[in-house]
Chain A
Amino acid sequence: MSTILGIPVPVILGQLTLGLVNGSFYALLSLGLAVIFGLMGVVNFAHGAFYTLGAFAALLGLQHLGINYWVALLLAPLAVGLLGVLVERLLLRHLYGLDPLYGLLLTFGLALIVEGSLHQVFGASGQSYPVPESLSGALNLHFMFLPLYRAWVILASVVVCFSTWFVIERTRLGATLRAATENAPLLQAFGVNVPLLVAATYGGGVALAALAGVLASPVVLVNSHMGTELVIVVFAVVVIGGMGSILGAIVSGLVLGVVEGFTKVIYPEASNIVVFVIMALVLILRPAGLFGRE
């Protein structure tokens, strides 16, 4: 069997593929964070809670209303996104112009409330969401069997991530959004409804988190603390990519998923800290992040 650095090639290919699956989740989540931070300057600590809410929306929709996976993929992000708009209108907007710490504290508090409430109602042990029938097989990649569902996660994430990037960086709507962050009063003078735009941005970022939650629900048990640990890693990913850089969030999400995958083979005990080690190195060598502007 051929090897690279003493590791068999099939193992390397296998970990590469699995790393991309995990990287897809990182990319989707860090993208939402980067959009919210880049366009609004808000450090959204409630991101993990919205991810959890997305998964719960899918689960409860299936259990109580018979909403299938594909419809949930659309409805859950929409519902959670609307909740995000509400949060922005009722709470967050009062904090603009203040120290960003206030936004951080508010969203952190929200996250605790959401997680605590879900824990109170549904308990700690979690529930299973079935893999949709049409995606329940496995692909034979010769070096490994890849469950069809995981392949779908990569595809869905890449498509969504790059569409989002395209909308923000390459369309008129995106240009308007970016203008709103550069000079809101001027844009408002042109007759653009800036507050609506900002609310929609927060809703959109939150909807991305919820989408990641729906995508994750057949993979892991749906429970109240599923977003808590994940979001800490995702924050590191955003810092590495460059706070607020859309492309940076996507690329570093995918790459770090792969790096973490290899760590799991080479030195498994370090797999939960490798991202933070890289973050520390990036902060020392390139404080604005890999894709950030100085």
Chain B
Amino acid sequence: MNELSRWTLALGAATFVAASSHAAHAADSVVIGDIDDMSGVYADVEGAGGVEAINMAIADFGGTVLGRKITVLSADHQNKPDIGASKFREWADQQGVNLVLGGSNTGVSIAMAKVAAVKKVPFIVIGAGGASLTNEDCTAYSVHYVYDTTALANGTATAMVNAGNKTWFYLTADYAFGTQLQDAAAKVVEAHGGRNLGAVRVPLGAADFSSFLLQAQASGAQVLGLANAGTDFSNSLKAANEFGITRTMKPAALLAFLTDIHSLGLKTAQGLYLTTAWYWDLDEQTRAFAGRFFARIKRQPTMDQAGAYSATLTYLKAVKAAATTDADRVMAQLKKEKINDMFTQGGYIRADGAMIHQMYVMQVKTPQESKYPWDYYKVVRKMSGEEAFGPLTGRCPLAPK
């Protein structure tokens, strides 16, 4: 036997052993899987920090539920829907996964929700924003936990129009999330008596935003609505400052994470309005969680990372209360209980899968106002869950109006 085929055989044997040992421990443990962008543009928003948050939640819960050990799997979906979906399917078939948490990227989450429905495995969306996940793309097994495009628009757009900024122009990321976000914001602007003057669709990951920004400026609108996220958001705001666009237009972040503000620095980001589900410096409870998280990751948690912690705890509590990991009974339990923890007070999961909870409209502090590291936001307005997420639309068959 030659060298190569010997290695192949050994590798094959090792894989077989690994696979069968997984299958063995799947039977006597509760398996929580996390599928997220671990290496791409959104990796700092949830990524490895999200896995850490899940582990923290399991440790705080005691490490076992119903007398069974709780194990965690994690995978990188690389922002590709097919990878996210096939990983989910593989875990459902081979690892007996009981709960899947999904990270950033609406496109991937939609693909994963379809698998959740077929495999009957509860799926909690953490980092994706598209509100279609609880509308056209809703399933009986999916929950949308942290934020959605409706809530973001209701927060930032309402606050800005009410402050007298009536005319809007959008810089929109040219994919599902960007267009959903722009549509949601445009509706809110109109509903409050404002006007939408136009939009420019920018390819995802553009190297330079200055051309698009000059078009926005030429529109004469008062508000520059940034319907993008991550690096695209940061680079467009940075260029808007450099080209003096921010002297004539007010930028509105339709989605910005704490990590984006940290990257940009307060000098560039100051004065920006944004909407968030959670902030580390809200109260004693959030600061306590943030302190423990910071000790492990050396960064303050984002709303997604806090959401991953809360969602894991919420699921484990539901399993304990239902005394089973049976998906239908756990889902029923999840939709019955109020959620009270460091993430939300009195939050609840609606029939369409949306977790209804408070959202905060924030303004980024000036460098002078910021007193200590990561002191970035001041609360402009706290919205109730009903106000933020709005009434049922009837587009999800599970939840008629």
User: Which A residues fall within an 8 A CB radius of B?
Assistant: 11, 14-15, 18-19, 21-22, 25, 116, 119, 123-128, 131, 138, 144-145, 147, 149-150, 219-221, 223, 225, 229-230, 233, 261, 264-265, 268-269, 271-273
Q: Are A124 and B44 in contact (CB under 8 A)?
A: yes
A18 vs B243: C-alpha distance when bound (angstroms) = 11
Q: Are A124 and B207 in contact (CB under 8 A)?
A: no
Q: Are B207 and A221 in contact (CB under 8 A)?
A: no
The digit string for B361-387, where 1 denotes a CB below 8 A from any CB of A, is 000000000000000000000000000
- Closest Cβ–Cβ distance, residue A118 to chain B (whole Å): 11
Chain B residues near A144: list those with CB within 8 A: 214
Contacts known (A125-B262, A145-B244); A18 close to B208, Cβ less than 8 A: yes
Q: Are B242 and A149 in contact (CB under 8 A)?
A: yes
Q: Are B211 and A269 in contact (CB under 8 A)?
A: no
Chain B residues near A14: list those with CB within 8 A: 214
- Closest Cβ–Cβ distance, residue B136 to chain A (whole Å): 23
A233 vs B206: C-alpha distance when bound (angstroms) = 11
Q: Is B174 on the interface with A (CB-CB < 8 A)?
A: yes
Q: Are A18 and B214 in contact (CB under 8 A)?
A: yes
A269 vs B199: C-alpha distance when bound (angstroms) = 12
Q: Is B394 on the interface with A (CB-CB < 8 A)?
A: no
Chain A residues near B40: list those with CB within 8 A: 124, 225
Q: Is B212 on the interface with A (CB-CB < 8 A)?
A: yes
- Closest Cβ–Cβ distance, residue A113 to chain B (whole Å): 13
- Closest Cβ–Cβ distance, residue A13 to chain B (whole Å): 11
A264 vs B174: C-alpha distance when bound (angstroms) = 13
Contacts known (A119-B43, A271-B206); A220 close to B235, Cβ less than 8 A: yes
In the complex, the number of residue pairs spanning A and B with C-beta atoms less than 8 Å apart equals 101
- Closest Cβ–Cβ distance, residue A234 to chain B (whole Å): 10
Chain B residues near A25: list those with CB within 8 A: 207
Say which residue of B200, B212, B243, B263 sits within 8 Å of A125 (CB atoms): B263
Q: Are A269 and B263 in contact (CB under 8 A)?
A: no
Q: Is B81 on the interface with A (CB-CB < 8 A)?
A: no
Q: Are B203 and A128 in contact (CB under 8 A)?
A: no
Q: Are A124 and B211 in contact (CB under 8 A)?
A: no
Chain B residues near A119: list those with CB within 8 A: 39, 43
Q: Is B47 on the interface with A (CB-CB < 8 A)?
A: yes
Say which residue of A138, A265, A272 sits within 8 Å of B203 (CB atoms): A272
A113 vs B207: C-alpha distance when bound (angstroms) = 22
User: Which B residues fall within an 8 A CB radius of A?
Assistant: 39-45, 47, 174, 200-203, 205-208, 210-212, 214-215, 218, 230-231, 234-235, 238-239, 242-244, 259-260, 262-265, 268
Q: Are B203 and A221 in contact (CB under 8 A)?
A: no
A56 vs B301: C-alpha distance when bound (angstroms) = 25
Q: Are A131 and B242 in contact (CB under 8 A)?
A: yes
- Closest Cβ–Cβ distance, residue A31 to chain B (whole Å): 17
Q: Which residue of A lies closest to B210 (CB)?
A: A18
Q: Are A221 and B244 in contact (CB under 8 A)?
A: no
Contacts known (A11-B214, A123-B44); A147 close to B242, Cβ less than 8 A: yes
Q: Are B231 and A221 in contact (CB under 8 A)?
A: yes
Chain B residues near A123: list those with CB within 8 A: 43-44
Q: A22-B208, A126-B234, A219-B239 are in contact. List 12 more A-B contacts (CB 8 A).
A: A15-B214, A21-B210, A124-B40, A126-B263, A128-B264, A128-B268, A229-B205, A233-B207, A264-B215, A268-B215, A271-B203, A272-B206
Chain A residues near B205: list those with CB within 8 A: 229, 272
Q: Are B231 and A126 in contact (CB under 8 A)?
A: yes
Q: Are B174 and A221 in contact (CB under 8 A)?
A: no
Contacts known (A22-B208, A124-B47); A225 close to B41, Cβ less than 8 A: yes
Chain A residues near B212: list those with CB within 8 A: 264, 268
- Closest Cβ–Cβ distance, residue A9 to chain B (whole Å): 13
Q: Are A128 and B174 in contact (CB under 8 A)?
A: no
- Closest Cβ–Cβ distance, residue B232 to chain A (whole Å): 10
Contacts known (A11-B214, A269-B174, A271-B206); A221 close to B41, Cβ less than 8 A: no
Chain B residues near A220: list those with CB within 8 A: 207-208, 235, 238
Q: Are B263 and A268 in contact (CB under 8 A)?
A: no
- Closest Cβ–Cβ distance, residue A134 to chain B (whole Å): 15
Q: Are A125 and B242 in contact (CB under 8 A)?
A: no
Chain A residues near B262: list those with CB within 8 A: 125
Contacts known (A124-B42, A125-B259, A220-B238); A230 close to B207, Cβ less than 8 A: yes
- Closest Cβ–Cβ distance, residue A11 to chain B (whole Å): 7
Contacts known (A221-B234, A223-B231, A272-B206); A265 close to B215, Cβ less than 8 A: yes
Q: Are A145 and B207 in contact (CB under 8 A)?
A: no
Contacts known (A125-B44, A131-B242, A269-B174); A221 close to B214, Cβ less than 8 A: no
